[in-house]
Structure 1
Amino acid sequence: MVVDDQTSMRAMIRRTLQDLGFKDIRDKAGPVEALAAIKSDRVHLIISDYNMPDMDGLQFLEAVRGDAVIGKTVFIMLTGSADKEIVQKAAALGVNNYVVKPFAPAALKEKIERVFGELT
């Protein structure tokens, strides 16, 4: 599940994931609708932007981690900021990895492989 309020960023991440061999890629423009979708139809990976209206990436991560059913879902946070405070808060909430935008497809692949192992 790709969660980002920018349509172009969602499309770019989808293409990258398809190029890496992912088949079932869903996306949502915001965390509120993503949470509902993930609860009704589980996913193995969430790639979420940090800076979004209504609920930021940290609040979204906290909501995912606080849910008994989806709490262990792999969560990678994207942000345009390398702010150490955000990184530390995300780590404290249990983020699996962190990618600073803009990023190359190889960087996203490397972050995913750190969690899942080598992609074939």
Structure 2
Amino acid sequence: MPAAASMTVLVVDDQQTMRSLVRTGLQELGFRDIKEAPDGEAGLRVMLTSKVHLVISDYNMPKLDGLGLLRAVRGHEPIRTTPYIMLTGRADRELVQRAVQFGVNNYLVKPFTVGTLKEKIEAVFGPIT
């Protein structure tokens, strides 16, 4: 697995504060190339125009929610295998089951710690440092 510093991460969340929290956590873990999008539509545009190694996306967003973005990613051949972590304030079973059904790699419940963020990423990739 490539080191965190060599990976591009896309953080998709409609709340600037949450994007900043995720960015800060990723930077603490050694990630340097971090892109942001305020909703699923903008996130999909980023993925179609640049190489992304990991998506961390909120579930509840306007325009295109996290499940919709996940479905779009899994349905588009060039990006369908991009690892995807769902970020949500809802840890209910139905949401998790639907996300798994659509091919999510992992999920992270808000609020989270940098340690939990690292665990979720390493569960997908293996050690990142």
Short-chain TM bin: over 0.9
- For 2:46 and 2:112, how far apart are their aligned partners in 1? 27
Task: Give the 3-state SS of the residue equivalent to 1:9 in structure 2.
Answer: helix
Match of 1:12 in 2: 21
Q: TM-score, normalised by structure 1?
A: 0.98
Q: TM-score, normalised by structure 2?
A: 0.91
Structure 2 unaligned spans of 5+: 1-9
Confirm or deny that 1:27 pairs with 2:36: yes
Residue pairs, 1:1-120, within 5 angstroms: 1-120=10-129
How far is 1:33 from its partner? 1.0
RMSD: 0.6
- For 2:75 and 2:81, how far apart are their aligned partners in 1? 9
Task: Please list the CA deviations of residues 68-115 of structure 1 after superposition, one character each: whole Å capped at 9, or x if unmatched.
Answer: 001000000010011100000000000000111111111110000011
How far is 1:13 from its partner? 0.4
- For 1:119 and 1:75, how far apart are their aligned partners in 2? 16
Answer 1 or 2: higher relative contact order, Cα 8 Å, separation at least 6: 2
How far is 1:55 from its partner? 1.3
Number of residue pairs aligned between Structure 1 and Structure 2: 120
Structure 1 unaligned spans of 5+: none
Deviation >2 Å, runs of 4+ = none
- For 2:44 and 2:105, how far apart are their aligned partners in 1? 18
Q: Which amino acid aligns with 1:48?
A: S
